Amino acid sequence: MRPSQGPKQPGARAPTVRPFTPDCRIAAYFAQHAPPSLHGTSIRLPGDAAGDAPERVVRPALAVLFRIAVGPSADHYVRHFLAFERTGRGRPGWHWPSLLLPGVWAFYRRLWVPGLVFALLPIAGAFAFAAIEPRFEGANALWIACAVLAVWILPGIVPAICAHALLYLRIRRMVDRAERGAKCAADAVQRLAEHRPTSTGAGVGLGGGALIAMAVVLLPHFRTAYGDLGIRVQLTQTLAAVRFLEQDIEASWPSARLLPRQSANVALRAQAGATLIDEVHVDPVTGRVRVALGAQVPELSGKTILLAPSRDPFDRVQWLCVPVDIPQRYLPKECRA
């Protein structure tokens, strides 16, 4: 039996009753006493020489904190993040969602600046494709494949390579802030749990909106460019249709001044590209061929192409294509200045 306590003596101190507090004995395990950096988040083994690259052992608590901070697909991302911790820096990798929908993924993961950059990359690809597009000579699958490559695939390669490292930097900053000043492990975990790791609304609204805006801006441009390419192809066929006239002039006109039959030539009308030709006239003095285009293609109706012969230093005949009032985007490469 407990002995009964006598009456309290005058002047005696009352026993101290400690309030209940969470167990923070592992606070030092989470807390960062050094400035937040990659080198303050792992342990250097005692046997490492001063000049050697240290072997880094990642604190097990980081795996838990990373999982809370990442949210969905934590198994996939934390595996990469722990590897980054061991090497001390983020590294290039490969991330399929960032290749296919880079802006949507970045905004969903609350990477605001990368999301904006990723949304603008397809527009930069469209400008690059516009610079090389006039070199295409056929409206075929190659043109379409190059357009998709420039606007979708190539702009997605950079995000796919950088995605893991970019998200790692964001998550690492979140963990640093949560641990800084935390009194115990539960406090750091609670701070991370209060932040939303993802934003479906931003992914759909901002990322999807960027895709819609890109389609609205770029699709009319590509439709116009594809139509221009078709006109260039027809002009190329038209020039090929009058090629035999040039050959006749080269062979007979310099010496005998014999002119080939012109617009009514049966062989000319049988050529594939002759459907655009309204009239062909060969100048009896200069041998210049004037090709007047008909109304089959409205953009070329009433336009004219002059083919002027000249001799190079080796006495070979060279034909100079001179378009009259034909926009540059419709011209095949042999008629561009």
Q: pLDDT tens digit string along 64-81?
A: 999 999 999 999 999 999
The phi, psi pair for 21, rounded to 5°, reads: -130, 150
- Mean of the pLDDT values across residues 202-207? 95
Within-domain flag for 16:
no
Within-domain flag for 91:
yes
C-alpha count within 13 angstroms, C-beta hemisphere, residue 332: 18
Rounded to the nearest 5 degrees, what angle is found at the Cα of 153, between the Cα atoms of 148 and 156?
140
Does residue 2 have a pLDDT over 50?
no
Within-domain flag for 284:
yes
Q: How far apart are CA 96 and CA 98, in angstroms?
A: 5
Domain membership of residue 209 as a residue range: 27-232
Q: How far apart are CA 178 and CA 137, in angstroms?
A: 59
Are residues 103 and 185 located together in one domain of the fold?
yes
Does residue 178 have a pLDDT over 70?
yes
Are residues 216 and 252 located together in one domain of the fold?
no
Domain boundary among 232, 252, 287: 232
Are residues 136 and 80 located together in one domain of the fold?
yes
Are residues 176 and 37 located together in one domain of the fold?
yes
Are residues 82 and 172 located together in one domain of the fold?
yes
Within-domain flag for 101:
yes
Are residues 262 and 218 located together in one domain of the fold?
no
Is pTM, for the whole model, over 0.85?
no
Q: What is the mean pLDDT of the chain?
A: 80
Q: Which of the four pLDDT bands, split at 50, 70 and 90, describes residue 259? A: low
Are residues 178 and 260 located together in one domain of the fold?
no
Are residues 132 and 177 located together in one domain of the fold?
yes
- What confidence score (pLDDT) does residue 304 get? 93
Beta bridge partners of 75: none
Q: Give the model confidence (pLDDT) of 74-106 as tens digits.
A: 999 999 999 999 888 889 999 999 999 999 999
- What confidence score (pLDDT) does residue 114 get? 96
Domain boundary among 199, 232, 265: 232
Within-domain flag for 215:
yes
Within-domain flag for 7:
no
Within-domain flag for 40:
yes
The least confident of 286-290, 296-300, 311-315 is 311-315
Are residues 179 and 300 located together in one domain of the fold?
no
Domain boundary among 201, 232, 263: 232
Question: Number of helices and strands (H, E) in the chain?
Answer: 13, 6
Q: Which of the four pLDDT bands, split at 50, 70 and 90, describes residue 4? A: very low
- What confidence score (pLDDT) does residue 35 get? 37
Give me the helix-helix angle, 154-179 and 74-87, nearest 10°.
Answer: 80
Provide the percentage of residues in the chain whose pLDDT is more than 90: 39
Are residues 108 and 252 located together in one domain of the fold?
no
Exposed / middle / buried, residue 231 (Cβ in 10 Å: 0-12, 13-18, 19+): buried
- What confidence score (pLDDT) does residue 265 get? 60
- Mean of the pLDDT values across residues 136-143? 79
Does residue 18 have a pLDDT over 70?
no
Within-domain flag for 10:
no
Count the domains in the chain. Answer: 2
Q: Which of the four pLDDT bands, split at 50, 70 and 90, describes residue 257? A: low
Q: Which of the four pLDDT bands, split at 50, 70 and 90, describes residue 180? A: confident
The least confident of 141-150, 196-205, 328-337 is 328-337
Are residues 223 and 317 located together in one domain of the fold?
no
The least confident of 34-48, 197-211, 267-281 is 34-48
- What confidence score (pLDDT) does residue 139 get? 67
Strands 42-44 and 289-293: unpaired
Are residues 64 and 151 located together in one domain of the fold?
yes
